[in-house]
Amino acid sequence: MKNLRDLTYAELLDIIQELGEKPYRAEQLFGWIYKKLAPQIDSMTDISKALREKLKEGFYIAGSKVLDVKASPDGTQKFLSELEDGSRIESVIIPETGRLTLCVSTQAGCALGCKFCMTGKDGFTRNLTLSELVNQVISANEILGENGRITNIVLMGMGEPLNNYDNVLKFTQVLTDGKGFGFSHNRVTLSTSGVAPGIKRLGAESNVSLAVSLNATTDEVRDSLMPINKKYPLSKLMEALRAYPLKGKRHITIEYVLIKDVNDTIADAKRLAGLLRGIPCKINLIPFNPFPGSKFKRPENAPVMAFGKVLRDAGYMIMIRMSKGAEIEAACGQLRARYDSL
Ligand code: SF4
């Protein structure tokens, strides 16, 4: 038995044709699954009883179990979901002016072990399936209820999205398909720690927005913070970013967690300006949010401002993320560290 929320439109079309049904039935079904969010096959009232019975022989519809929802005073809500195998994942709803963003986890745990990240410390369990990605969006809208609907998606929670490439690509297709959730491409952002080949593939196969968790300007420092840099060093990462197709006024978001005495000097800021030269980007500077057991410290405000000034003077668009709610637009996995105190 398979969850219908694990199917893309193309897969559904194949199944419908195998069942000897007309192709338009696939569109109807897709709409019931991802637009009208049918809780069960029998809710699909304009699908014939005979087809519903045939579908029920191989398929079902199931959501994830939300175990807990915690809200912070700034309106941010973190929720914990339990998956069918008992794994637990977190997602965060972030209200900002004119939008409601959902930060989605793409893996249970993460294998990459970034030193500033709590998720990385707990190790990796497994990739999330398409239905487990989709169910985070559905649960978020259920939690919001009358208070709104998710308008933006960031794949920035637990896990490295590009290491769960196939399911994440399907998820972006379902999200941006007008027959499904119908999000516009520029309202879906994937954040990576720098999996260079995945960035190239994503650029060729999708047109969602890209964010990169950079956090250092030399291989030496980046190796020490993000072990993935040993596999894909800055030269490879920058090459992939330069090749990423950006239409119109789009840009890449560069996330840079500022850590006291590690990557927050004026020399770092100047190197960062040089490294990003020629890449249409905006830079989010995120003063590190310490968590229990972390050896890193948050820089004072003055060096953060000075760092930002160097970049601004060099012509970059920068944003300094000071407040708790806004900090979600930070590196992936900072999520748990950041919201654990909610
Ligand atoms: S920051 Fe992201 S890629 Fe790095 S360990 Fe945490 S979840 Fe994984």
pLDDT in tens, 149-195: 999 999 999 999 999 999 999 999 999 999 999 999 999 999 999 99
CA-to-CA separations, 63 to 21, 38, 92, 221, in angstroms, rounded = 27, 10, 17, 42
Centroid of ligand 1 to alpha carbon of 278 (angstroms) = 27
Residue 254 pLDDT? 96
In this prediction the pTM is: 0.92
- The last residue of one of the domains, among 60, 87, 109, is 60
Question: Are 215 and 287 members of one domain?
Answer: yes
Instruction: Indicate the number of domains in the chain.
Output: 2
Confidence at 248, pLDDT banded by 50, 70, 90:
confident
For 70, counting Cβ atoms within 10 Å of its Cβ (0-12 exposed, 13-18 middle, 19+ buried), the class is middle
- The last residue of one of the domains, among 60, 79, 98, is 60
- Span 212-225, mean pLDDT? 97
Which of the residues are catalytic? Answer: 90, 332
Atom of ligand 1 minimally distant from the CA of 110? 8
Question: Are 86 and 169 members of one domain?
Answer: yes
Residue 325 pLDDT? 41
Confidence at 129, pLDDT banded by 50, 70, 90:
very high
For a pocket test of ligand 1, which of 106, 107, 112 has the largest count of ligand atoms closer than 8 A to its C-beta? Answer: 112
Question: Are 153 and 294 members of one domain?
Answer: yes
Nearest CA to ligand 1 atom 5: 120
Question: Are 70 and 25 members of one domain?
Answer: no
- Span 128-141, mean pLDDT? 98
Beta carbon of 159 within 6 Å of any ligand 1 atom: yes
Centroid of ligand 1 to alpha carbon of 329 (angstroms) = 14
Beta carbon of 120 within 6 Å of any ligand 1 atom: yes
Question: Average pLDDT of the chain?
Answer: 91
**CA 174, 179, 184, 188: dihedral to nearest 10 degrees?**
-10
The two structure tokens encoding residue 300: 């004072």
**CA gap 139, 104 in Å, rounded:** 11
CATH of the domain at 47: 1.10.150.530
Question: By residue range, what is the domain housing residue 297?
Answer: 65-339
Is the confidence at residue 7, as pLDDT, over 50? yes
Beta carbon of 257 within 6 Å of any ligand 1 atom: no
**Sign (positive/negative) of CA torsion 253, 258, 259, 264?**
positive
Question: Are 35 and 172 members of one domain?
Answer: no
Continuous H helices in 145-245: 165-176, 196-205, 219-225, 228-231, 234-243
Question: Are 177 and 251 members of one domain?
Answer: yes
Question: Are 138 and 35 members of one domain?
Answer: no
Atom of ligand 1 minimally distant from the CA of 117? 6
CATH of the domain at 77: 3.20.20.70
The least confident of 22-31, 43-52, 330-339 is 330-339
- Span 116-141, mean pLDDT? 91
**Percent of the chain residues topping a pLDDT of 70:** 93
Question: Are 244 and 211 members of one domain?
Answer: yes
**Contact present, 154 and 145 (Cβ < 8 Å):** no
Phi, psi values for residue 299, rounded to 5°: -70, 160
Is the confidence at residue 19, as pLDDT, over 80? yes
CA-to-CA separations, 86 to 66, 135, 179, in angstroms, rounded = 12, 15, 31
Phi, psi values for residue 318, rounded to 5°: -125, 155
For a pocket test of ligand 1, which of 160, 168, 199, 294 has the largest count of ligand atoms closer than 8 A to its C-beta? Answer: 160
Chain segment 31-71, per-residue pLDDT in tens: 999 999 999 999 999 999 999 999 999 999 999 999 999 98
Atom of ligand 1 minimally distant from the CA of 120? 5
Question: Are 239 and 195 members of one domain?
Answer: yes
